[in-house]
Structures are given as C-alpha cells and as structure tokens.
Structure 1
C-alpha cells in the first residue's frame, strides 16, 4: 500500500483543520516523518499561513531521558513555551516514538519529567484559540515491539485514514444526540467489566475527521488521524464499578487484563495478569488528578477491527469503548494532570439511560 501523502497533507490543512491565511502553525515531526511535515508546511505556505517545523529524533528523546538530571527534565522550556503560545494550530506528525522499545527501562520518574515538559501544549489548548491534530505514523520498529506483522499494521493504519467521513460523521452525530440527552451509561462485558458512568451536562464531542466551526463553538479543538470516536469527560463522582482492560502497551511495556475499581470516579488498581508494577510506576509519578476518570470514548472507525496495543488505533476500534484517567480539561472536564491515559474495553455491552447502544461490541441498528 502506498499512501498518497501529498493528498493527505492537503486534506489535513484544508479539510481537517481549515487553516487560514496568516495563522501560525507549529508542526512537530520525528526524523522519519519530516517529509510529511514538509508537505503540510508547503500547503500552509501556499495559502499564506505561517508554519514552523520542530523535529524530535528518538535518539534525542532517549538521551535526554537517560542522561539529564531529573530536576532539569521538569523545567519548562521558555523557548518551547513561547512557540506554543504563538501557535494557532499545532500538528503532531507522530503519536508514538519510532522505536517505543527504547523507553522500556526508563523509570516513571524520568518519564514524568518529560510529560511535565510537554504539558505546555495542553495548557495552550485549554486557553482557547488553538486547535490540534495528532497524526500516527506506523513503523517496523513499532510493529516488532507490538509483536505484529508490519505490512498488516501499515495497511490497517492507512486504510483507516481512507474512509467515508460523511458516514462516520452521521453515525457519530446519532450517538452524540443519544448521550447528550442522557444521564448515565452502564458498561458490561464477559470479562467482568461492570461500570456505571454519570454524564451530567458535560459536552459530547466527536472525532469525525474535521474540526468544524460548530466544533470550535463547542470547544472541540482536538482531532486524531486516524479518526473515529465519540467522547465525553464524565462527572467523576458519579462513576463506580469495575473495569478489565484487555491489553495496554505504554512506554515500551505490556499490561494485560488490568483490573481497576472505580469509586466516586477514582481508579483503584486490583490486579493484572502482567504489568501491574508498570501501571503503578507511571501513575504514582504523574501529577494532579492522575487517577480520576477523564474520558469515556466510543470507537467508530470501520477499518480498525483488531487490538494491537497501539493506542491511537485501538481506541478507534469500531464497537469498543475506552476509559481514560488523568487530564480532561481540553474536553470540558476539570481534571488537571500531566497524564491522560486511554485504555480499551473489548466487546462491551453499553446501555445509555436504558437504551441499548451496543451489545457485545455490535451497535444497535439505529446507531450503526
């Protein structure tokens, strides 16, 4: 499969983000995605926007995390903060390091320092007047780390970008209307998940491939590529029950069948078949509301059907839900943390105020 990257860059600039003449655009790239950043920057230049490309290699990130005194990792960069403050659009041309396995032996304390550094972007989005898109880019190293075939991973990823966005938007709108008029969501599955979530009057957002003027009025300024979810920041005090998350791969390590109890929205770890210590290490070294429920998301991308441990695609698997802990201030919530962690529940049954939305991972006909 050979993606049409010039066409993808054009779509990002004109359809997804509707970038305008005179807007300042910050484009973050890895060393292997610089070519895509160049294509996006050229599209910006053609319409009179002002792009700036910032590159981060795996080698730089690794050596920064392993060779820098932890106290310096936590000091915000004034230059970086100034650039982010000036940006009206932020485009991240990677959502994962090229070789995630390199970070598997780095401590939670050091990783927390890097998150503190990067939180500048989220603070900028919370202030308003800025929109953001995060673009994944699969690599052979990621596939090897995930234990999957690279060619299949690559095809799944880019086919998930080339979907019917009108159809996606229509399904997302139906689910948004259901959630907007409802108060609670009940999620169960055969593994033992049994969770009740209170929605209150929190706004319901959709990641349907574009940030429209209506989205901006609502405060929806975030977008992923691949796209495909409806999401909300729940009221944490009304969330209770147990969730079992099938597979999580974060910062180079696997967590299998992680079981969390939620009481008044706070996550209490119970057990995991594998990786509980890694979960605790990352959460214990995070800041603020790190263990409060942050998000309920519903996956909608029809081309993503397999869980592989790559969060950007896993959370878009059609017929799944994901629960996040940590920060949710960019989606209408009040949690403040340097951590936002999405975790997926497979084959859920989801009932919204007594209405069946999906059963064992299959949407009811009126919401499909």
Structure 2
C-alpha cells in the first residue's frame, strides 16, 4: 500500500466515512488504465478494514460503447447488484459520460451506495482526509440558501479589475440543489471525496457574463489568458477574447459536441460553490478543482443528472476564483469567503410579520403532499434533487423546527383540511405563535392554506 499517511488515511475515509462500509460488507470498484493504481490502493484499504473488495477493469474503448452500442457484461451487472457499495474510479473524458451515467443512474439495489470519482488519482485521496463535520455543515448551509432562493447573481472579476455579473433564476423550491458533502446514504450516489454544493439553474434564465479565471478541464488558466463567457436566455452566445484558453476549450470540449450535431452544449447547466479546504491549488482536473474552497464553478451542457432538463454530449465545468455570490439580495459568498448568516436563512418564527403573512387571515390548513420527515423532533422538508440523491432542510432554526414538528404532526395525513383554531389548544401554543410557525411551514411548501 502507498506509504504516504495522508493517502492511506484518505482511502480509509472514503471506504468507511464516505461509503459507510463496515466489517464484512463488500465493495465493487470500476477502474481503467488511468486509475488502476488508485483502485488498488482503495481496495487494499478496504481489505485492511475487513471489507471485501472486487475490481472490474473496463477499458476506455469499451466505455465509449456503453450503453449506446452494448451494455455492461452480465457478470459486471451481477457484481453490481450484489455489492453494498460501488466506486467508479474511471477517466473523466466526455465521450465516456454515457458509461458513467449507466452506472450512476441504475438502481442496483435499494441499499447500494455509489461513489463517483471520474479522473481520480492519488492526490484525490488527500481530499478525503478533512474535517468532515465542518465540511458537511458548510455544504448544507449553502443547500438551504439555494433551495429557498429565487435569484442568484454571480459576480466575477477580470484581472484588469472589471466586474462581470451573471444572473440566473434558481427556482425557489422549483429546482433543488445538491449538497455534495461526500457522505453517501443507502440507495443514492455522490461524488467522493467532495465538498461542494451546486444547482442546475432554470433553463433559459441566465443572462450576463462571467470571468473564467481558474481552470477548465485539462488546463490551468494563466492570469493573462482568462476568458469571459456571455449568456443570453440561458445559452452561451460568445466567448472573448480568442486566446489560447478559448481555443483549448473549443478544441477539447465544444468541438466534441458540435461534431455530434449537439447544440445543447451552449446551455448553462450548473452553478456550484467549492468548500473543500484540502484543495490547495488548481490542477485542471475538475474532480479536484470544482471542490476547491474560495471558488465557484459553472458548467456548460448536460444537467439531466442533477435535476435539470437539458441533455448534451458534454458537461464541462469551469472554475472561477474569488467569486461573490448574492442570493435574493443577500451576500452568501464574498470574494470567495463564505458569509452564510443563519438568521437570514434558518430564521426564528419570531421574525415572521403576521401583517405581511397570508396565514394571518387563513382559517384552515392541510398537508401539501410534499415529502417531510422528522428527525429528533425537528421537522424537515425532504429534498430529492435528482435520481439517487436525498437530503433534507430543517424548517427554520431548531426552536422553530421543533414547534413545526408538533403542529405538522397534528395535521391529517390524508391532506384533509383542519381548522387553524383547532391547533391552538392542541398545540399548547398561543394563536400568534401557531400562525407564525405555520407561515414558515407554508414557505417550505409543506402545507396549503385557505
């Protein structure tokens, strides 16, 4: 096994913490010629933890043919169905994207956890050796903002000091974000190691420009070779200047889509925010770069695998250094530094003004049918942003979420209407408190009123 302690620790973190495996369980690793050493090290780490591992080597030429020309072998499919966890340690080439989707989007079993590591190498293992508790907390802070927010503005700055503004609609519950914290639950998939939160903006909504000053796939951008991307109605209209960076992007990414007659490559597919402090420098490998703390990234092309509606031959991430991100007029990130204010996004019911609330005059409420769950007597809205992804957002701060849990539990499960006045006595809360808490439960989409 590799002797670098950080590599060994990271490999074990992926097996135990990210994939949640324990003694006696089994792990299936898909690898190819670019990742054989990485796959072997992870397999050895698993064996040291008494976790059985199997590596299936899929040559890159074969990946290019799956699933359009042929499918995974029955032997590989059988192994995937039996595995408690699957890890895709394969190359990140755009023309192998359908192969990766074949593995990620198949529900092999209700309990299978799938870790995704396209372009992984030994350095990526060091990214897993971080303070997971802080990383998880930061990812989910951003998740609640992007879930509740309606408009997002990404501000980037060219080396000459010119500010560029890109504005998008993020839906306000209509389009859900992904908190990719690297900890994968049963029956879902996620990037490992991770440290980002991202969202697919509403199609057709992006307008403005953005400076790409960090990296694109395969290239670290030099200070004097930054590019500016211009968008109208959700689609890239032009890139300036025509410098080596723009030419590289055209040749390595855009041309692959255009050669297939794919015009959806122009779609603004994603906006994401990196949070992993273990990424100390950009490399041109998006598995690293899009996770880097103090960065944001956008992507062109496909977003169907993250809750979007556009399919494309490419998904091309591009990194922006020192961004400022504003959601609904509130600064979330300033020059790359997280500025999350809990009071703005996980507010107390005491902050609700009944004079401005429709719940002030409402007489009845009913469950909306939107999925909710209670954890430790705290009410959350369940988020399913894409196939195989499940998360949850607490309703307000802890005190509010606890009160919401009590009120929501009193409502009929069949979505029948209940008089609000009946909740006053049953909940042991005063009428104004009941209406304020109900207002937030309604804002999270869990109830209707009349």
Superposition TM-score tier, normalisation by shorter sequence: 0.7 to 0.9
Partner residue, 2:137: 170
CA distance in 1, matches of 2:190, 2:322: 26
- Equivalences for 1:1-368 in 2 at 5 Å? 2-3=4-5, 7-19=9-21, 25-29=27-31, 30-39=35-44, 42=47, 46=50, 51-56=53-58, 61=60, 64=61, 75-80=68-73, 83-84=76-77, 86-87=80-81, 89-94=85-90, 113-124=95-106, 131-135=113-117, 137-138=120-121, 154=123, 158-191=125-158, 192-200=163-171, 201=173, 202-212=175-185, 221-225=189-193, 227-250=194-217, 256-271=225-240, 272-274=242-244, 275-276=246-247, 277-278=250-251, 279-285=253-259, 287=262, 289-364=264-339, 366=341
Q: Is the 8 A contact 1:84 1:124 kept in 2?
A: no
1:248 shift after superposition? 3.6
Shift of 1:326: 2.2
1:178 Cα deviation from its structure 2 partner: 1.9
Against the structure 1 CA distance between its residues 127 and 292, is the aligned structure 2 distance closer, same or farther, given a 3 Å change threshold? Answer: farther
Query: Mean Cα displacement is larger for which, 273-282 or 179-188?
Result: 273-282
Cα distance in 2, alignment partners of residues 240 and 130 from structure 1:
39
Aligned residues: 319
Q: Highest Rg: 1 or 2?
A: 2
Structure 1 residue 228: Cα displacement: 0.9
Root-mean-square deviation (Å) = 3.7
Cα displacement string for residues 95-138 of structure 1 (whole angstroms, at most 9, x for unaligned residues): 55xxxxxxxxxxxxxx7654445542344269987543234644
Is the CA contact (8 Å cut-off) linking 1:74 and 1:114 kept in structure 2? Answer: no
Query: Is residue 112–residue 285 contact of structure 1 (8 Å, CA) maintained in 2?
Result: no
Offset, 1:329: 2.5
Report the 3-state secondary structure (helix = DSSP H, G, I; strand = E; otherwise coil) of the residue aligned with 2:266: coil
How far did residue 184 of structure 1 move?
A: 0.9
1:152-187 CA-partner distances (Å, limit 9, x unpaired):
xx5xx5543221111111122222222222101101
Higher deviation after alignment, 286-295 or 174-183: 286-295
- Secondary structure in structure 2 of the residue aligned to 1:238: coil
Instruction: Give TM-score, length-normalised by structure 1.
Output: 0.72
Distance 2:104 2:264 in 1: 15
Q: Show structure 2 runs of 5+ residues with no match.
A: 343-450
User: Could you tell me the TM-score, scaled by structure 2's length?
Assistant: 0.60
